[in-house]
Structures are given as C-alpha cells and as structure tokens.
Structure 1
C-alpha cells in the first residue's frame, strides 16, 4: 500500500430548498391587517360572545357566581350523561367538590352551538339561552328568574 488515500466520490452540493419566494416577490404577509375586525377568527368571536354573556350574568348575580368557572370547549365528551342519550349537549354544569378543591364549572360547547346558528345574532341568542339554563340549574331557579328576557328573542 502506498501513502495515498483512496479517493472519495464528491457529493454534489445541496441546493437551498425553494419556498414561497419562487418569483422574487418576498415572503407573503397577512391578507388582513390585525387591527380590522375580520382578523379575528370565528373561535375568537365566539369566545367574546360567551364572555359578554357571562359578564352580564355576573352583574346580576355577583355573589352567586363569584366562584364559578366558565369554560368553552370544542365538542362535548363522547360519554354523554344518561339524560343526554338522544341529544347533543350544548352546555353542561359540573358541580364543585370542595374536598377535591374543585369549584362549580359551566362549560359551553362551541361546535354544536355554531352548527345550529345561522348568523352572529343567532349565535349570541343561543349562547345566552344555554348559559341562562345552566346558571338556572346551578342556582336551582327558573331561567326566567335569571334572565327576564328568557327565552332569547
């Protein structure tokens, strides 16, 4: 054997991957500036409707709703309660357990509500109706006592 190394075949250099800048126009930016209302997603708008309704209810019942958590989830769990076998839950009330450190919780399900509403006004009315019913069930009162305008117009 001589002192020369065996030749290693040259590996061709990798070209940079071509991304969205194929024609030299630069990176694409957002189509709608963040300050405009259309920037917000349907999810954000739905959360705003729930938040407005909860604030309205908390003004009417500040002491009764002081420790209650309100939440929004996409869909109800796949294990329905016994009375929900033939319907889809739009919202649920989960009683608190002080021994476990759990507070009362009311959950609104986004997708079933949005599937039933045709526009933003109807979405707002459905959210209001669901929240009023859940708060009424939690406080053991009639929905008309919680919101005099119930059912939502």
Structure 2
C-alpha cells in the first residue's frame, strides 16, 4: 500500500512540475501554484539586479509576490511571469550565488532560467545537463546533491545567461 501511495505521489509531482509545458514544447502561460509563481518571480528579480527595473513586479519581497498571486488568476500569473522574462531578454544583471531553500525552489529557478534561454533567440548554445528541459531530472539531481551545490549550479546557469546576447528580430 505504501509503495502505491508513493508511486501516486511521484506521478502527481511529475504532473505538477511539468504541467502543460511538455504538451506544448514550452512551459505554457498559466501558473497554477503560488509557491511556483513566487519562486519564479524571485529568480527573475534576482537575475535583474543591476538592471534599471522598478515597480511591484520587481519587488525583492516574496510576500509582495505571494499577496499579488493570491488575487490573480493562473493566466494573469503567467502573463506577469512572461512580462518579467521579456525584460530579462535585454538585461541580465547579478550572477552571484543566492541561497536556495528547497528543491522545489531550485526546480522553479531552473525552469525560469530554461524559459529565459529559450526566449533569448540567440546564437548561444546552452548545452549539458544544466540545460536539460526535463524538470523531473532537475528535481532528482537536487535531491541527490549537497545543498551548497544547488546555489553554485544556479549561479552557473545565470552566468551563462548573462554572457549571452539576444538576437534582434
């Protein structure tokens, strides 16, 4: 019975993490979960350090993003996430290490960085396991490695993003 419950939990987690992304080849526009939205927002805010951004969308306070998220629809959350990502296409600032509190946060940050890499439409090549679109693989890696490696890997992805210039369309 415990094995069956564990299998169900893993399947649910896989669907929650992957969401509509894999069906469309992208991560989709809706964000159903506020903890996921806040993790994405905080990752984007941190990546924008040093850029001239302002306003509530760029608050450094997770509570601000959580409060907004509770009032917003999944579609509105997705649009807000996309708007921040569009700003990051032209400016990616700080790439120092940032504490990552959990593997769920690590996965959300990985997904945010993957989405930005896809949105850059650049000549940069994002290779290796670090850039795998398999979010479950990122979760497994996080669960198997020491906590200090999570921040180091996150910073490495942000350094690669920061060194890549977007192509003009």
With structure 1 as the length reference, what TM-score do the two structures score?
Answer: 0.29
With structure 2 as the length reference, what TM-score do the two structures score?
Answer: 0.27
Higher strand share: 1
Higher RCO (Cα < 8 Å, 6 or more apart):
2
Larger radius of gyration: 1
